[in-house]
Amino acid sequence: MEVLRPFDKLPAINSAALLLVGADGSAQQRLAEAVLREPKAFRISIHLAASLPLPAERDHLRPRIDLIVFIIDIKSKYSLKNVEASLAHVDASFFLGKVCFLVTGVGRVNSCSIEMSAIWKLRDTYCSPVLLCELESEKIQATTAQRLLRMLQICAGHVPGVSALTFSSLMRSSADD
Amino acid sequence: MSELCLYKLLVFSCVLRAFNKDAFIFTATLPHASAQALPLTPLRAPARPPSCARGRRCVAGGRGPRGQFEGGAMAEPGGAGPSAELTVGVPFLISLREQLKQQLMECQVAARACQGGCPDHDMEEKATVESMPNLENELEKIKTSFKNKTLVLQRMQVADALQKKMAENDGEARLIVDTLLNIVELSKTIIQFQRETRYIEDKINAIRRKRLVLRQAEKDKMQKIHLMMKKIKKLGSKEVNELLEKIRENLQTEREMTTAIQNVFQSIIIGSQVNWAEDPSLKAIVLQLEKDIS
């Protein structure tokens, strides 16, 4: 079983790698395009995966993954199950701030098939922040892309004095209340 | 100034080399100049690895929408010859240095965490565990005070809102006054009932106290009676013993006396030289005297 580790590779100069994990390919792609549209001062590579583990054959070509975003579609139970199965292939040190859950489709509460309590439980179990967004709306999509980009910057160590762990603990303390 | 820049560049290339092992020279443009978004360019990649066929989606190697996106802000490192010109701004290099420092620090921390188990760490953990109850206490105190303050604030807000409402003096204000009066009436009743309850409780308590005192007295009395009974039993057994002894002594002396008298009678009858065998009553007496009493 392949386990993804945050520190088994050296970082590349002035670049960051984002891994989007989610069952819904089109949403991932739209989000990736939105992230790439944002202005930024460093090189970014976005990897898309439906589930973990990542194939071991191309491991040597992959850069160090700085941030894993698990995309959960609130309208499909399968996406939650898929994410839960994928979480087993992530090393524990990734959960020190380098993982976040992105819940999409929160604008349509009527068609929700996942209870929010399940998501909060996921957040508490894995000590990782949860972002809520609606990818159908252009504005929210852009805002989400900006947030992800900022988080990625922190996780990749581009912001002096702020580590991923600091950031995630800040997020958690605000989320607890 | 230019010398300083050159020196800094030298230092950076050293740092980069040490960090990435491969000596390379990079070209970079200023960050603000390269900030515009570049079009998406899915990487051309060879055929999918065999794992893709097993249901896993290929990540970095797939073609088309499942491929890897590269959005560039900086030119590719490597590939440039040693004669490549460096067109790098100083602020960019400084920010790059900060980045490297931060990344180095994170890697060091991760490495130290991986080693683990050092005594310092254990001690720290112990200290942390020991200080936990104190901290929790403080947290609880702060929480309580916060809650109290919130309550006070809410009450003040409610009181203020009520006052303002009362000042308006319309239908709602009258309703509020009615409700308040009702509340006062109810409170009075409650206080009355509480007073009665307390009175009854006092009574019950007094009765209970009396019962307790009585029970204690009963206990004392029972103990005394028990003691007395014991004493009486002891004394009684002693007296009976003494009495029996006396009776036995008396009996003994009487017996002795009787024996002596019998002997005397026998001697008298024999001494009187009367033929006692002829007279049947006398014969009976003499034969009776022959019997030993003891």
The predicted-structure confidence for B23-58, as pLDDT tens digits, reads as follows 333 333 333 333 333 333 333 333 333 333 333 333
Superfamily of domain A15-176, CATH level 4: P-loop containing nucleotide triphosphate hydrolases (3.40.50.300)
Which residue of B lies nearest to A96 if distances are taken between CA atoms?
B110
Nearest Cα neighbor of A103 from A127, A125, A137, A75 is A75
Residues A129/A167, Cβ–Cβ less than 8 Å: no
Q: A13–B20: do the CB atoms touch at under 8 Å?
A: yes
What does residue A132 show for φ and ψ, rounded to 5 degrees? Answer: -110, 135
Which residue of B lies nearest to A53 if distances are taken between CA atoms?
B56
Neighbours of A157 (CB within 10 A): 23
Q: What is the DSSP string of A82-143?
A: HHHHHHTTB-GGGGTTSEEEEEE-TT-STT--S-HHHHHHHHHHHT--EEEE-TTSHHHHHH
Which residue of B lies nearest to A20 if distances are taken between CA atoms?
B59
Q: What is the pLDDT of residue B152?
A: 96
Residues B293/B252, Cβ–Cβ less than 8 Å: no
Q: Residue B258 corresponds to which tokens in the numbers above? A: 């009787």
Nearest Cα neighbor of A90 from A19, A162, A175 is A19
Q: What is the pLDDT of residue B119?
A: 56
* Chain centre distance of CA B205: 34
Please state the domain extents for chain A: 15-176
Q: B51–A7: do the CB atoms touch at under 8 Å?
A: no
Which residue of A lies nearest to B53 if distances are taken between CA atoms?
A55
Give the nearest partner residue to B68 out of A45, A50, A156, using CB atoms: A45
* A41-45, A162-166, B166-170, B213-217: the lowest-pLDDT one: B166-170
Q: A29–B70: do the CB atoms touch at under 8 Å?
A: no
| CA–CA gap between residue B122 and residue B8 (Å, rounded) | 41
Give the nearest partner residue to A93 out of B101, B102, B110, using CB atoms: B110
B15 versus A96: the higher-pLDDT residue is A96
Percent of chain B residues past pLDDT 70, beyond the cut: 68
Q: Express each pLDDT in B111-143 by its tens digit.
A: 887 776 555 667 778 888 888 999 999 999 999
Contacts of B110 in chain A (CB under 8 A): 6-7, 93
Q: What is the pLDDT of residue B290?
A: 77
Which residue of A lies nearest to B93 if distances are taken between CA atoms?
A14
Q: Express each pLDDT in B65-111 by its tens digit.
A: 334 443 333 333 333 333 334 567 888 888 888 888 888 888 888 88
| CA–CA gap between residue B70 and residue A45 (Å, rounded) | 5
Q: A47–B59: do the CB atoms touch at under 8 Å?
A: yes
Q: B66–A62: do the CB atoms touch at under 8 Å?
A: no
Given a cut of 60, whether residue B266 has pLDDT beyond it is yes
Q: What is the pLDDT of residue B40?
A: 37
Helix (H, G, I), strand (E, B) or coil at B291: coil
Give the nearest partner residue to A163 out of B49, B50, B106, using CB atoms: B106
Q: What is the pLDDT of residue A110?
A: 77
Percent of chain B residues past pLDDT 90, beyond the cut: 33
Neighbours of A47 (CB within 10 A): 22
Please give, rounded to a whole number of angstroms, the shortest distance from the CA of B88 to a CA of chain A. 13
Q: Which residues contact B41 (CB under 8 A, 6 or more apart)?
A: B69, B70
Give the nearest partner residue to A40 out of B35, B100, B111, using CB atoms: B35
Q: What is the pLDDT of residue B49?
A: 39
Residue B184 CA: distances (Å) to CA of A61, B157, B176 = 80, 21, 12
B198 pLDDT band, cuts 50/70/90, is very high
Contacts of B19 in chain A (CB under 8 A): 10
Q: What is the pLDDT of residue A40?
A: 84
Instruction: Choose the mutation target among B26, B29, B94, B106 for the interface with A, i.e. most A CBs under 10 Å.
Output: B106
The verdict on B51 touching A (C-beta cutoff 8 Å) is yes
The mean pLDDT of B180-196, rounded to a whole number, is 96
Q: What is the pLDDT of residue B72?
A: 34
Q: What is the pLDDT of residue B284?
A: 82
Contacts of A57 in chain B (CB under 8 A): 49-51, 61
The verdict on B74 touching A (C-beta cutoff 8 Å) is yes
Residues B253/B293, Cβ–Cβ less than 8 Å: no
Q: What is the pLDDT of residue A10?
A: 82
B245 pLDDT band, cuts 50/70/90, is very high
Instruction: Choose the mutation target among B15, B30, B40, B59 for the interface with A, i.e. most A CBs under 10 Å.
Output: B59
Contacts of A12 in chain B (CB under 8 A): 20, 77
| CA–CA gap between residue A129 and residue A168 (Å, rounded) | 7
Please give, rounded to a whole number of angstroms, the shortest distance from the CA of B160 to a CA of chain A. 28
Residues A48/A28, Cβ–Cβ less than 8 Å: yes
Q: What is the pLDDT of residue B125?
A: 81
Q: What is the pLDDT of residue B188?
A: 97
Please state the domain extents for chain B: 2-117, 150-256
Instruction: Please report the residues numbered 223 through 252 in chain B whose beta carbons come closer than 8 angstroms to any beta carbon of chain A.
Output: none
The verdict on B1 touching A (C-beta cutoff 8 Å) is no
Given a cut of 80, whether residue B291 has pLDDT beyond it is no
Residue type present at position B288: Q
Q: What is the pLDDT of residue B219?
A: 97
Q: A41–B31: do the CB atoms touch at under 8 Å?
A: yes
Please identify every stretch of chain A with a pLDDT value under 50, giving residue numbers as ranges. 1, 175, 177
Contacts of A44 in chain B (CB under 8 A): 71, 73
Q: B58–A15: do the CB atoms touch at under 8 Å?
A: no
Q: What is the pLDDT of residue B18?
A: 45
The verdict on B42 touching A (C-beta cutoff 8 Å) is no
Q: What is the pLDDT of residue B47?
A: 37
Given a cut of 60, whether residue B63 has pLDDT beyond it is no
Q: What is the pLDDT of residue B186?
A: 97
Give the nearest partner residue to B65 out of A29, A40, A93, using CB atoms: A29
Average pLDDT of chain B to the nearest whole number:
74
